[in-house]
Amino acid sequence: MSEFNNVTVTRAANVYFDGKVTSRKVTFEDGSFKTLGIMMPGDYTFGTNEHELMEITAGECEILLAGAQQWLPIKGGESFEVPANSSFDVKAKTIIDYCCSYIA
Amino acid sequence: MSEFNNVTVTRAANVYFDGKVTSRKVTFEDGSFKTLGIMMPGDYTFGTNEHELMEITAGECEILLAGAQQWLPIKGGESFEVPANSSFDVKAKTIIDYCCSYIA
């Protein structure tokens, strides 16, 4: 989907890592939500409360899931999942445009 | 309004200034739209095609409208307007969270 229809968007951004990572919350009619975010180039560690689907809309990064041995290259058009109550590292080689879905 | 309801959000971000300024397009039922954006600290010049209302949700900056003599301090909760077919300079002293409305 190139756009999300009939949604609610929260005006204020979520700001992490001194603004190097920011996102906007998009809430759907069924109460589920996604965040649309931007990462500036850099290294980040994110924790998860829920099972997440991270779709990379544009950019190039490498990711390392908690417990994994190997960094995985991920680029625009690709995605990865992260279990709940876990974490993952990202090396953003370019600016990253992403969509994160929270899967119950 | 702290949120926008019954809107369409474009998935892909708009990226300017090597990603130091990014925004997301929010389209309303009547076809009008706004952009929700982030500026990293820095100096920027923006051109306008339409009359714009720039609302600063969070952050501190100074702005200089085309033809103006004096920089104006603007902070979260404040706003300014820019005529169509004009330009303005922004000195973002912090990360800036903004909402830009295009006024016909």
A54-99, pLDDT tens digit by residue?
999 999 999 999 999 999 999 999 999 999 999 999 999 999 999 9
Q: List, for residues B50-65, the tens digit of each pLDDT value.
A: 999 999 999 999 999 9
Determine phi and psi for B70, rounding to 5 degrees.
-130, 135
Q: Is the ipTM of this complex over 0.90?
A: yes
Decide if A78 is inside a domain.
Answer: yes
Decide if A70 is inside a domain.
Answer: yes
| Closest by Cβ to B11, choosing from A3, A15, A40 | A3
Determine phi and psi for B46, rounding to 5 degrees.
-120, 135
Decide if A2 is inside a domain.
Answer: no
Decide if B70 is inside a domain.
Answer: yes
Q: What percent of chain B has pLDDT over 70?
A: 100
In Å, how far is B67's CA from the nearest CA of chain A? Answer: 31
Q: Is A9 helix (H, G, I), strand (E, B) or coil?
A: strand
- Residue-range definition of the domain harbouring residue B42: 11-103
Per-residue 3-state assignment (H helix, E strand, C coil) for A14-68: EEEHHHCEEEEEEECCCCCEEEEEEECCEEEEEECCCEEEEEEEECEEEEEECCC
Distances (CA, A) of B49 to B10, B46, B103: 20, 10, 10
CATH, residue B20:
2.60.120.10
Contact flag B13-A3 (C-beta cutoff 8 Å) = no
Decide if A57 is inside a domain.
Answer: yes
Contact flag B38-A38 (C-beta cutoff 8 Å) = yes
Contact flag A58-B13 (C-beta cutoff 8 Å) = yes
Q: What would the two tokens of residue A40 be?
A: 């500036």
Decide if B77 is inside a domain.
Answer: yes
Nearest CA in chain B to A25: B3
- Number of folded domains in chain A? 1
Nearest CA in chain B to A17: B95
Decide if B92 is inside a domain.
Answer: yes
Decide if A66 is inside a domain.
Answer: yes
Query: Closest Cα partner for B83 from B95, B66, B70, B64?
Result: B66
